[in-house]
Amino acid sequence: MNDLQLADDVMSRIRARGGQYHERAYLFVLATIEFLQTKLEVRRHVSGQELAWACRDFAQQQFGLLAPVVLGHWGIKRTEDIGRIVYTLVEVGLLVTQAGDSESDFEGVYQFAEGFGDSYEWQGLRGA
């Protein structure tokens, strides 16, 4: 099975489970996990909160000021959406959880308006 067939198979399984998000949302969360792992000294299991914040950071790196708009277009509007995506990926066998992990770990980690709104500073001319 080549990579394209594998991707089609995985997306078919996600759709069969009622995948409510754009396909790119699932790929984004998988890419964010890799992004987060590269920032750690040693690869390890990460918490829901760590992943939620990493999604914000990775989205800002990839999409800049448009990050919340892009995520919103894919259906990701709250950190709870990230949790639903993660647990769908668990259900189709792409991710695993550890004892004590829960979809509720993603609830209310941050509000998108504050999480994305406060992270940019205007770099314009001062004193003009």
Return d(Cα 36, Cα 104) in angstroms, integer: 20
| Cα end-to-end span (Å), the chain | 61
pLDDT at 3: 59
Res 107 pLDDT > 80: yes
Q: What integer best gives the mean pLDDT of the chain?
A: 87
* Residue keyed to tokens 């639903």: 84
Res 32 pLDDT > 90: yes
Phi-psi region of 118 (alpha: psi -120 to 50; beta: other; left: phi over 0): alpha
The pLDDT of 49-75, averaged and rounded, is 95
Return d(Cα 59, Cα 53) in angstroms, integer: 10
Res 128 pLDDT > 50: no
Question: Could you tell me how many residues make up the chain?
Answer: 128
pLDDT at 116: 85
Q: How confident is the model at residue 6 (pLDDT cuts 50, 70, 90)?
A: low
